[in-house]
Each structure stands twice: as C-alpha cells, then as structure tokens.
C-alpha cells in the first residue's frame, strides 16, 4: 500500500512545514503551452481516487480538479508559452512554468517535491521524485491541476481551430494531427521547434 505522505513527513522532520508538490502537463505535444501546478496539501488528507492524472479518466480528473482546489492549503498554476518553448527549449520552459506556479501560490512553500529527475531552479529547496505523481499526494494533486488546466485550454482552441481536432488529441502528435497540419498548415499555437521537419506554411 502506498504511503502518500511519506516524502512530506520526511521533509517536515527536516523542519519544512509548507511542503508543495510540483508537476507539469504538456511537455510532449506539438502545440500549446506547457502547464505546471503546485499544491500544498494538509498532511494526511485523504482524497478518494487521488492518483497520477495519467491513470485517471478525463471525467475523474475533472471531478478531482475541484476537490483538490477546495481541500488544498494552497495551489498555483503556471504556464510557459509555445513561443517560450521554441526560444528556450522544452526543459527550460517547463522549469519556467514550475517557477511561475510556485510564485502564484498565495501561501509560500518552504520545500518542493518535484515529479521527475530534474530539479528546477526555485527560490526554495526541494528534491525530485521519479514517478512522484504515483507516490506522493501533493504531486498527484498537482498533476491533476496541471493536466485539467491544459486540457481545458486545448478544448477552447478546438472551437477556434475545429479542423485540427485539439479537443481529441490535446495537441499531441497523433496521425490525425499531423494530417491536419499538412492539410491546413502550421498555426500560431504550434511549437515550431517540434515541427522543423514539416517546413513552414
């Protein structure tokens, strides 16, 4: 059985009492920004169904999005645009989104638990946890906020660019998405650094 608060308790034993979890959504897509979220959870809080956002259905993620925002002590959401991704590269843009998410929290965190194996440059200390979104409650909560926030944006774009199918693939490089790009061209919301081989239309 997973101890969802093991890492948070260990951080508190070191003297950190506002521990936030950080995760991102949208590193891989061909279009749109990368979104990061950070969440401070009350130690030991149980939220039914909380898990890595990738393991949850879209309906379940949407439901948990509101629960997490209501139950969290604090949360923040940060973005880095497709233009920033092209300018800095996806890793640095992800770090930028994470910093913005931390800075967006009304309550300042004093320690960060970050999903993955690369620590972003933050104003607070922290540690990385590989597959942290399936091991740590505050990271799992952050993964849900980031994923749902980004998916909602892409669904909005679907009404603006209906030929591209953003509501379905969320900007990822599916066969249908590549076919739409080849037929209709590259949009301002596409990451040009991800589409170098397609040329510019």
Tell me whether residue 62 is exposed, middle or buried, using C-beta atoms within 10 angstroms of its C-beta: 0 to 12, 13 to 18, 19 or more.
middle
Tell me whether residue 164 is exposed, middle or buried, using C-beta atoms within 10 angstroms of its C-beta: 0 to 12, 13 to 18, 19 or more.
buried
C-beta of residue 62 within 8 angstroms of C-beta of residue 184: no
- Sign of the CA dihedral with 145 first, then 146, 147, and 149 last: positive
Q: What is the pLDDT of residues 63-118, one digit of tens each?
A: 999 999 999 999 999 999 999 999 999 999 999 999 999 999 999 999 999 999 99
Reported pTM: 0.95
HSE-CB of 102 using CA atoms within 13 angstroms:
25
pLDDT at 200 (0 to 100) = 43
C-beta of residue 154 within 8 angstroms of C-beta of residue 32: yes
Q: What is the pLDDT of residues 111-148, one digit of tens each?
A: 999 999 999 999 999 999 999 999 999 999 999 999 99
**179, two tokens:** 């076919």
Rg (CA), the chain: 17
pLDDT at 120 (0 to 100) = 97
pLDDT at 9 (0 to 100) = 97
């Amino acid at each position: 059985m997973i101890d969802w608060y093991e890492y948070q308790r260990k951080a508190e034993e070191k003297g950190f009492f506002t521990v936030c979890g950080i995760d991102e959504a949208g590193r891989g897509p061909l279009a749109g920004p990368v979104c990061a979220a950070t969440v401070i959870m009350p130690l030991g809080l149980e939220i039914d169904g909380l898990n890595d956002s990738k393991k949850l259905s879209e309906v379940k993620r949407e439901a948990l999005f509101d629960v997490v925002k209501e139950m969290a002590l604090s949360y923040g959401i940060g973005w880095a645009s497709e233009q920033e991704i092209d300018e800095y590269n996806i890793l640095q843009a992800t770090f930028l989104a994470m910093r913005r998410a931390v800075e967006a929290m009304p309550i300042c965190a004093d320690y960060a638990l970050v999903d993955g194996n690369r620590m972003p440059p933050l104003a607070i200390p922290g540690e990385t946890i590989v597959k942290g979104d399936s091991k740590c409650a505050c990271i799992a909560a952050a993964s849900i906020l980031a994923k749902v926030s980004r998916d909602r944006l892409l669904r909005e774009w679907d009404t603006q660019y209906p030929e591209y199918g953003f509501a379905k693939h969320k900007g990822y490089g599916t066969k249908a998405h590549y076919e739409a790009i080849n037929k209709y061209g590259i949009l301002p919301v596409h990451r040009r650094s991800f589409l170098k081989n397609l040329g510019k239309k």
